[in-house]
Amino acid sequence: MPTIALRQVGGSVAMVIPPAFLEALKLSVGSKVDLSLNDNQLVINPARPKVKYSLEELLRQSDFEAARNEESQSWLSEPAIGKEIL
């Protein structure tokens, strides 16, 4: 496992990732990654694309005939507090 030095780039600190690591993770310049700390180790993973749904797609997945549970019914029975309209 190679040891690398952190470098100053403007007001940030940068790390050079060896090409073999980039190839193994299918990353390139401009790729987005998620950073996390795990047991005092920096973990870098390719960012998963954020799934976006349209209102139409969400409504298509809804079962409007399904029975409401107690929590949903309680929420729907509450009086309006702001400017919402149900």
Distance, CA of 79 to CA of 86 (rounded, Å): 10
Give the contacts of 56 (CB within 8 A, at least 6 positions apart).
none
- Structural domain boundaries, residue 27: 7-46
Number of domains comprising the chain: 1
pTM over 0.75: no
> Three-state DSSP class for 8?
strand
Which tokens is 79 given?
């009086």
Residue 19 within any structural domain of the chain? yes
Residue 63 within any structural domain of the chain? no
Q: What is the pLDDT of residue 16?
A: 92
Report the CATH number at residue 37. Answer: 2.10.260.10
Residue 16 within any structural domain of the chain? yes
Summarize the chain as % helix, strand, coil (round to 5). 25, 20, 55
Distance, CA of 2 to CA of 10 (rounded, Å): 25
pLDDT above 70 for 86: no
